[in-house]
Amino acid sequence: MADPVRKSRFGHWLDKATPSRESVEGNRWLRPVAHRVMHSALWRFTRRSVPRGVALGVVTGVLVPMGQIPASAILALPLRANIPAAAATTFITNPFTTPPLWVAAYWLGSWMLGTGRAVEAQVQAVEQGWGDWLLHQAGPATLTGLVTITGALALIGYFGTALAWRLWIARKWKRRAEARAAR
């Protein structure tokens, strides 16, 4: 008889954190599209839908400021992405990861746009007017950096998940072959 499936702490947390089909079905805001959201292909864990869901969750997690889980669920429809994977991956941004992400986005965007100046010049620009600095330098630089970081993280998430899925299946096949050989 096979060992019972043991879940890690992360597995239990993930089960609690991701919305169930029933909770989405009962949501009054999603009722108009519930018949599409409840399609079984969006909730099944397959080698194609899970990486799509992870990449979508990264994109909505970083670029959508509020309502990330509903946004990822709605965007999963045309992309045929796994809704639980997309919803769980939106937690990539949280109060601990968002400030460093935005600072890195500003630095990267400043470097990409060539607006990186000496610290003294930036302090002087801030002293002259916050609004001007935010509108003309910090805003475009941060947005450029966020889009770039989001694209990179989405690609890493997609291909990393696809690789992890492949390795998991290969290990499963290997165990199955070893079990057959042991008989």
Of the pLDDT bands very low, low, confident and very high (cuts 50, 70, 90), residue 148 is very high
Residue 63 is which amino acid? L
For residue 112, give Cα distances in angstroms to 43, 69, 102, 148. 39, 30, 15, 10
CB 107 within 8 A of CB 145: yes
The pLDDT of residue 8: 81
- Predicted TM-score (pTM) of the model is 0.72
Taking only the tens place, the pLDDT of each residue in 80-95 is: 899 999 999 999 998 8
- Average pLDDT across the chain, whole number: 83
Q: Is the pLDDT of residue 136 over 80?
A: no
Q: Is the pLDDT of residue 112 over 60?
A: yes
How far apart are the C-alpha atoms of 145 and 137, rounded to whole Å?
A: 12
Taking only the tens place, the pLDDT of each residue in 25-37 is: 777 877 777 777 7
Q: Which residues contact 155 (CB under 8 A, 6 or more apart)?
A: 55
